[in-house]
Amino acid sequence: MRFLIALAVGLVALSQGLELRAPWLVVYDEEGHPRWEITLARLAKVDSGWEGEEVEVRLYWQGELEFRISAERLTADRLGRVWHLEGDVQGRAEDLTLSCREADWEGGLTLKGLVVSGEDISLTAQEAHWSQGKAVLLSGVAAESGGWRVELARATYLLDSGLLQGHGAVIEGHGYRIEAEEMDFRTREGILELRDARLAATS
């Protein structure tokens, strides 16, 4: 990957270091497409690397925007390859809105304490990870869609199709409780496909 640090806009010397305004960092993939870019209202050089405020991050895959995330604060290493977001972290991916406690990038995006809402699904996860393509890996998942509530220790959500896949699913809704070894939940069509399932009526 190629890195471009945009230092040319509004450079201001401070007693504790440097402050930069406007676009800061753009990373390109091998084909020359942007991989991710960061813009900030303010960026300061510190001993450990960089600290920024009023941050927006845009993450791409094969030139297409996948995630847009904003946060109050950023900390990054000296080369900007590893960074951490915190403070009112919010964003969008496809037709979903999201918020989380904090976000990290180190070869991939990790969201902690994730809350997602969309037209066809609402979802919480202890942690989510994305590095490329349309698949988001989830852990500690609780999702609601089409009158069903699903709990999964681990799952995969596909951003383009709305497919939620997982193992060891516990599903409740419409008067039933279901436990299944494997689950495919096509949330946009309201189709739930189960394998090795056990069904029990609920009160």
Q: pLDDT tens-digit profile of 148-187? A: 999 999 999 999 999 999 999 999 998 899 999 999 999 9
Same-domain pairing of 104 and 139: no
Of the residues 110, 142, 168, the one at which a domain ends: 110
- In 3D, which of 109, 19, 113 has the Cα closest to residue 57? 109
Same-domain pairing of 82 and 168: no
Same-domain pairing of 138 and 191: yes
Same-domain pairing of 7 and 104: yes
- Contact predicate 96/161, CB 8 Å: no
- Structure confidence at residue 28 (pLDDT): 84
Containing structural domain, residue 47: 1-110
Same-domain pairing of 175 and 143: yes
Of the residues 89, 110, 131, the one at which a domain ends: 110
Residue in the structure block whose two tokens are 């403070």: 87
Q: Which of 10-14, 20-24, 52-56 has the lowest mean pLDDT?
A: 10-14
Q: And the tokens for 145?
A: 């869609």
Domain count of the chain? 2
Of the residues 110, 134, 153, the one at which a domain ends: 110
Output the pTM of the full model: 0.84
- Structure confidence at residue 201 (pLDDT): 61
- Percent of the chain residues topping a pLDDT of 70: 87
Query: Residue range 58-78: average pLDDT?
Result: 94
Same-domain pairing of 16 and 48: yes
- In 3D, which of 107, 150, 146 has the Cα closest to residue 125? 150
Q: Is 156 exposed, middle or buried (0-12, 13-18, 19+ CB in 10 A)?
A: middle
Report CA 38 to chain centroid distance, whole Å: 15
Query: Residue range 191-198: average pLDDT?
Result: 94
- Give per-residue pLDDT as tens, 108-123: 999 999 999 999 999 9
Read off the CATH number of the domain in which 10 is found: 2.60.450.10
Query: Residue range 18-31: average pLDDT?
Result: 67
Report CA 92 to chain centroid distance, whole Å: 8
